[in-house]
């Protein structure tokens, strides 16, 4: 989980939920569960909590926060813990439900297109 990888993973998760589940109540539960898992792991990484240490170490990051910002591909500093960086992180975490919702909408659109094509 990282600020670079999470948005596309959340969109893909939304598409998967929408394509696999036709019952909206079940889809909403899966959506909430998915969002909770992403936020739990990502916030734990950001806070450098010990239970996710192996995860960031596997990817060669210096810390969970380093992994959240750099994803092993960017050279951004992870020692900057200014209020601006924390506010940016809160703003990025706040977008997570939007990415998942976008995936659900894309999944619904894809399903509608498949239905229209098969009806021809």
**Which spans in 1-120 are helix H?**
6-20, 24-46, 53-58, 64-70, 83-94, 96-119
What tokens does 114 get?
Answer: 């498949």
Which pLDDT score is estimated for 11? 98
Is residue 1 in a domain? no
Which pLDDT score is estimated for 118? 76
Is residue 48 in a domain? yes
Encode pLDDT of 6-37 as tens digits: 999 999 999 999 999 989 999 999 999 999 99
Structural domain count of the chain: 1
Q: Which domain holds residue 50?
A: 6-119
Encode pLDDT of 51-96 as tens digits: 999 999 998 888 899 899 887 666 666 556 678 888 999 999 999 9
pTM: 0.87
Residues 6 or more apart in contact with residue 15 via CB below 8 angstroms: 103, 104, 106, 107, 110
Average pLDDT over residues 40-50: 95
């Amino acid at each position: 989980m990282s600020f670079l990888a999470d948005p596309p993973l959340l969109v893909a998760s939304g598409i998967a939920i929408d394509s696999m589940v036709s019952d909206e109540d079940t889809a909403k539960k899966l959506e909430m569960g998915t969002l909770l898992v992403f936020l739990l792991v990502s916030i734990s990484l950001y806070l450098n909590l010990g239970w996710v240490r192996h995860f960031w170490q596997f990817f060669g990051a210096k810390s969970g926060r380093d992994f959240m910002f750099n994803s092993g591909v960017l050279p951004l500093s992870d020692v900057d813990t200014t209020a601006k960086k924390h506010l940016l992180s809160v703003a990025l975490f706040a977008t997570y439900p939007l990415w998942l919702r976008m995936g659900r909408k894309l999944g619904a659109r894809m399903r509608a297109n498949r239905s229209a094509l098969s009806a021809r």
